[in-house]
Amino acid sequence: MNKIILLATTLLVCAQFTHAVSPTFEQETQTQAKQLDSKAQLPNQNSVEQEDEIKSDDHEAYYNMGVIHTRLGEHQKALGAYQKAIEVKPDDYEAYYNMGVLYARLGEHQKALDAYRNATKIQPEHQGAYYAYFDMGNIYSILGEYYKALNAYQKAIEAKPDDHVAYYNMGNVYSQLGEHQKAIETYQKTVQIRSDDHEAYVNMGIAYSQLGEHQKAIDAYQKAIKVRHYDHEAYYNMGNAYAQLEEYQKAIDAYQKAVNIRPDHKVYYNMSIVRGIMKQQRK
């Protein structure tokens, strides 16, 4: 019987989009599914009815039963099936990993972390260890344990050095810690691996603005726009950077492009402030 790897839905921590002339802050979240390589086929879901007939030493049958229960939305039954698989085969990496995914979905973060740790102890060099460390980093970020998150992302990178997402999330954690220069350096590694990561350019620009390097921020936003022409956040933050440089007409132009993409009361608010400043200057 082939083993099936469960899809893990993980949260990416996003940096705050700061406002140059507004006292408010906006935070967005994105989701992205992660999957371990597998060519296994999903067994017939009707076989869930045959659970009592599983041989007591057939850990793969228990494991795949866990996958079936998960896809039916029966998470507690899935956890029970994975636990049985582990009881038969204590070094079942995939069962521990999928338990971590389920616990994370259920919001039981500590149990998820325990399951991921057990997975990485079994096969620390396994290809899938990347995903366990990556998910641990995301959970630690949710819990506000940022240095533990950084450590987990670093281990994910060691397992998969060419992955841009772990670098991206690490950059966001550095931003949360106020370590903006380190955030910039990490975002730069992100785009070195994947040059079309427009979110990394946007967050890099935000980090530059936090350091008062507004022209470098604008350069980063322009790179984001080159990748994704309809990037609302890039135009919005570019407007804020121009406002900080007192290049008010360029700020207005950037804000206008932002609202052309998506009307946003915060952009209109900042635009009105900049127009007020320009009006005062003409007097």
Amino acid 19: pLDDT? 30
Model pLDDT, residue 10: 36
pLDDT band at 43, cuts 50/70/90? very low
* Number of structural domains in the chain: 1
Higher pLDDT, 4 or 158: 158
Q: Which residue range forms the structural domain that includes residue 130?
A: 1-177
> What does the pLDDT read at residue 59?
79
pLDDT at 126: 66
Query: Which is higher by pLDDT, 115 or 28?
Result: 115
Instruction: Answer whether residue 31 shows pLDDT above 60.
Output: no
- Whether residue 49 is contained in a domain is answered as yes
Say which range, 9-13, 128-132, 144-148, 238-242, has the weakest mean pLDDT: 9-13
Dihedral, 165, 166, 167, 172 alpha carbons, nearest 10: 90
Tokens (6 digits) for 188: 């730069």
pLDDT in tens, 46-103: 554 455 555 667 778 889 899 999 999 999 999 999 999 999 999 988 999 999 999 9
Is residue 145 situated within a structural domain?
yes
Residue 160 lies in a domain: yes
pLDDT at 54: 59
CATH number at residue 156: 1.25.40.10
**Exposed / middle / buried, residue 28 (Cβ in 10 Å: 0-12, 13-18, 19+):** exposed
| Residue 107 belongs to a domain | yes
The beta-strand segments (E) located in the chain are 8-12, 30-34
The residue whose two tokens read 């470098």 is 216
Q: Establish if 193 belongs to a structural domain.
A: no
Q: Within a domain: residue 139?
A: yes
Q: What pLDDT, on a 0 to 100 scale, did the predictor assign at position 187?
A: 97
Residue 34 CB-density burial (10 A; 0-12 exposed, 13-18 middle, 19+ buried): middle
In a domain, 149, yes or no: yes
Is 238 a domain residue?
Answer: no
Mean pLDDT is lowest, of 17-31, 74-88, 152-166, 168-182, for 17-31
pLDDT digits (tens, 9 = 90+) for 227-283: 999 999 999 999 999 999 999 999 999 999 999 999 999 999 999 999 999 998 887
Q: How far apart are the first and last CA of the chain?
A: 80
